[in-house]
Amino acid sequence: MTHKHRNAIVIGAGFAGIAVATSLAQKGYDVTVIEKNTQIGGRARQFHCQGFTFDMGPSWYWMPDIFENYFRTFGKKPSDYYQLKRLDPSYSVVFGADDRWRIPANLQELGVLLEQYEAGAAEQLEKFMAQAKYKYEVGINDFVNKPSRSITEFLDIRLLKGALNLDLLTSLSKHVRKFFKHPQIIKLLEFPVLFLGATPENTPALYSLMNYADLKLGTWYPMGGMFEIIRGMETLAREMGVKFHTGETVSQIEVKNGIATGVNTDKDYYPADIVVGGADYHHVEQHLLPTQYRSYSPQYWQKRTMAPSALLFYIGLDKKLEGIDHHMLFFDEDFKLHASEIYTNPQWPSKPLFYMSAASVTDPAIAPEGKENLVLLVPLAPGLEDSEEKRSHYYEIIMNRLEKLIGQSVKDHVIVKKSYAIKDFEQDYNAFKGNAYGLANTLKQTAILKPSCKSKKVANLYYVGQLTIPGPGVPPSLISGLVVGNEIEKDFAEL
Ligand SMILES: Cc1cc2nc3c(=O)[nH]c(=O)nc-3n(C[C@H](O)[C@H](O)[C@H](O)COP(=O)(O)OP(=O)(O)OC[C@H]3O[C@@H](n4cnc5c(N)ncnc54)[C@H](O)[C@@H]3O)c2cc1C
């Protein structure tokens, strides 16, 4: 059979699903993506209300090199599809009403800022960043792009030597403390691993590569919003021949003698030579596959450390706020207490940390003139009971804190308000325990210790996205799609 006649069905049109679909189309497969929601983009969907445009999920554009590499794979550049702007300050961290650090895009300027709080911090930052750069280069080039199907992939002398320098066995928390003592500097350097869905104590120090991504490679913004990336990827995918079926839910993967033969949806049946699960891994294998073809048990899934869920508020204001930044982290409460209420002792947080994205500071097009577009986010333990009462209670808490910390009224100016939390993640994305960011990148859930990107029991079934390699986040989801596209080609090219 030639590729021209081989059908690939991809379940789910998030970043990873679109990426694997485009990769397979480039290799000559006939690809159809089936997406349950009416809009593609998955967790990165967008909605419009009264002239406001809200990105529903990701708001931080980090690791621009990964996006460049993605589009380069298909002979394109991000600028063929969207216009990027580097933010300066990259973001700000609010430690208290009169204590806000605006993180400059320039690393030397950051050194000067840190030096004011800890003598010698500028020099320590240089040393810390030299290691972070090494980890980024080796980590991204040699480790992250591996399919992690077998330990033998890592038995290369250069990689083994590299591994010793990658601090895989110490935690990020300990690593940061070897360089710095000031609690606020430590918070600043520990914050990026929250994107990986685990605590700094539980994350290998390898991931100080995230500090390189943050402080050196910078925070960017695609004008029009993060959904512009999805639009660009969709245009490219369609150019390559990918077909999208939206508003259609896959209800079952049909398997005969260990081979997936097609998928049933709520509307139709699609025969398939290859099936790729781009929806949450847990959903695909526990709900769409016959029991005997599942690689993992329900107990296995119960034992996984999921990345957090989130409570979000999409807010439109009838005025502009003064002196705010595009990205603001409100770290004025105890980081450890909130983390323990996510991971160790799951419950609604007693004193939540929260994050605010005010993209209209950079991009006037996403709010009506003279108005502000805010997204507020509180990380939550997955699987908590989610109710309107809880959402309202936390809305009051964070609105009051926000008003105090930025010293101006906000609540009375709200003209658009929509909440989104655990139940919505479950309902909209079939997310296990309502997770927002997939599976946490803890040491025990890294590389070959993640749910495998290839089914152990169905020869032509693969998985992509934030619950498999390499992990949560937009750049990893793009990598996931490209790596799995190549694996499929390797496995099937000869047949
Ligand atoms: C609130 C929030 C903020 C975030 N912030 C950032 C950030 O700032 N920067 C960053 O890099 N990352 C961020 N992330 C993470 C990032 O958005 C995700 O890692 C990434 O979008 C995951 O893509 P995916 O393709 O793996 O999954 P998804 O986007 O979930 O795509 C899976 C798709 O499968 C579909 N599906 C499910 N079941 C079925 C079915 N039975 N049939 C058909 N289709 C189905 C779903 O509807 C969905 O569209 C954030 C995530 C959230 C939720």
pLDDT at 152: 72
Cis-peptide, bond into residue 271, ω within 30° of zero: no
pLDDT at 299: 98
Residue owning the nearest CA to atom 15 of ligand 1? 473
Sheet with strand 259-265: strands edge to edge = 250-256, 259-265, 269-271
pLDDT band per the 50, 70, 90 thresholds, residue 1: very low
| 263 pLDDT more than 60 | yes
Taking only Cα atoms into account, the Rg of the chain, rounded to an integer number of angstroms, comes to 22
Q: Which atom of ligand 1 is nearest to the CA of 425?
A: 53
pLDDT tens digits for range 97-112: 999 999 999 999 999 9
pLDDT at 206: 86
pLDDT at 258: 97
β-pair type (7-11, 274-277): parallel
| 327 pLDDT more than 60 | yes
Buried b (16+ CB within 10 A) or exposed e, 137-165: ebbbebbbbbbbeeeeebeeeeeeebbee
Decide whether any atom of ligand 1 lies within 6 Å of the 281 Cβ.
no
Show the tokens assigned to 407. Answer: 């010293």
The arithmetic mean of pLDDT across residues 311-339, rounded, is 96
Query: What's the CA-to-centroid distance between 107 and ligand 1, angstroms?
Result: 31
The arithmetic mean of pLDDT across residues 457-464, rounded, is 98
Show the tokens assigned to 342. Answer: 């996510």
| 494 pLDDT more than 70 | no
| 144 pLDDT more than 90 | no
- Contacts of residue 84, defined as CB under 8 A and 6 or more positions apart, other chains included, come to 61, 64, 78, 220, 221, 222, 223
Q: Residue 476's closest CA among 14, 12, 2?
A: 14
Query: What's the CA-to-centroid distance between 44 and ligand 1, angstroms?
Result: 6
- Among 143-157, 253-267, 275-289, 301-315, the minimum mean pLDDT is found in 143-157
Q: Which atom of ligand 1 is nearest to the CA of 438?
A: 19
pLDDT tens digits for range 2-23: 455 799 999 999 999 999 999 9
pLDDT band per the 50, 70, 90 thresholds, residue 155: low
Beta-carbon-side half-sphere exposure of residue 432 (alpha carbons within 13 Å): 24
Decide whether any atom of ligand 1 lies within 6 Å of the 249 Cβ.
yes
The arithmetic mean of pLDDT across residues 358-377, rounded, is 98
pLDDT at 149: 79
Query: What's the CA-to-centroid distance between 43 and ligand 1, angstroms?
Result: 3
Query: What's the CA-to-centroid distance between 91 and ligand 1, angstroms?
Result: 23
Decide whether any atom of ligand 1 lies within 6 Å of the 471 Cβ.
no
